[in-house]
Structure 1
């Protein structure tokens, strides 16, 4: 089969690789029809995610049709399914508690030690996201093996095109959980740093949850226009002093809750960001947390901080004092996708949520490398890239 493989920093190639096989009775084999490039894939592309090996198959946002299933799978051949990016066993303490992205059993024992050392506990398995998360082959391929297929994939009706449901695999539930972690009350003001895919879905979700106003912060004009089209009030950080603008827009109180949808590679020329980059260059620091610092400083006293943006290492000058002195609540985590998929699928089917506005480019899988380059280097124009395999129906 054909699949996109990682070969090094900014070096990804579509190659011919062996077809996946059933290895466990709970496995299923999916023929991929649509798969997307995620913002967190760019962390791999930029070389900041450890544990990658040459030849690893990338991609964790995908869907397709079942072509084979083990005897322990709940899926049947021919079913059309969306697959969550997190791999979850469904039976451990965390899965049973609804914390599917904290699964204790999906990351093989031989790859758990590194993350247990880094974070205190081992991470769960994730498709196409380094050997720290199990080394599972990803979905930017013609076929993929799906472990624990009786727990993860959700069947979708044939009358909903791929483009409407593909983002159930990751970014739509991630944006929803980001908003949910804000504990939104009617009339609240929510400020969102970053109008990438997750940030835009967080904007959409916060408004659906009853926020009085959502303020979207970015510098890309097209992305800010997309946020405004959803109902947000845009703030361009290159044209405005964000902290002052937020105080003015909230009557001098500050946002009730803030969302860092940027993560560890925040950009800009702020002094703290330049210092982060200098430390990264000499191997002292890992995460660039300018957006998170700004969000914490802007949040009102007693407010809530939600962090869906990917952070993977350590950071200097974290504003611990602001968190404590203002009495802030901070919530984060990989998304518990399985928890949200059924209700979000229902909202899509009922027309309450549209996700297709986000897609700027549809490319064949063979052009995946061009998709990565465009998505990274032209972020204002390339808002979301969907890759289609030969099995895809391009009409969606």
Structure 2
């Protein structure tokens, strides 16, 4: 009997270094290495194969976000019609938003089983950004998305908080399984001390306690508490903060730092994946942030890399939330409420005074990583889920 194809659909894939592209590339290649017939439908042009994964490209993208989304959705539907056979498993990610609405029924009409791999929950993210006035206008999209979820064989959100949103949409509990995103598998091995020291020299860290926000400065993340803590620490030269990477709010954060004269805050470019282990380990602590109201809609995936690097996490975000509960109950850092800059500054002062306490928290975080976020373990869980989905 023919083993079903696994067909992933997402706008970005290798060689893109966008977060969703890297996650998909990791998983697709690992499943291919396990003997699966893996296909990916993605935007752009390029090589038709990568590490055993067959790639179906939808062509060069036009300018403008909405134009790119529309172009990809049309191309993805075309490729699905050509590829899908009865019994195949189609895994839909969430780039572009509401891909589930565009592709679920098409895949099912061709006899495929559909899995929703839910990284972000739209249109609720838009509603949270725009305010309650936008909810009525977005209601038809939300209802269509809910129908797509309920029609799917499986929904895989990346946190328990997001699973609660999936369940509220009417998805049966046995068809909603939360699986977190993993840390890049190369973080399984510790970075070399010489590489860590080289990054710290490049960043001018010296012997200061360096607390870093690494990754996308996105619209769902919260930075006011970090900057307020930096202001409280401005006269303490042995505590420094840094932002590594860019994103939609990068210019806003840079402007705020300049306006407030925060000389203890630095900015550095995003680090290539090959250097990620050293860059993460070069910090003494890492910030993970989330704006209130987004905890059931997105999950900051940077936490896994922080814990893998053996560095403590300082989560600034909603309480209660699953991420706060994880740190509270299992260790690996501290969870602080949005706006509590005083507690954040006090924690950094304490860790500067007692570096062994920060290091011990990082060791605990590495244990949390090994329990929950190892790539090899999550690939095995994904493989088992997809096998059972195809067999249903």
Report the TM-score, using the length of structure 2 for normalisation: 0.29
**Structure with the largest fraction of strand:** 1
**Structure with the largest fraction of helix:** 2
Select the structure of larger CA radius of gyration: 2
Report the TM-score, using the length of structure 1 for normalisation: 0.29
* Higher RCO (CA < 8 A, seq sep 6+): 1
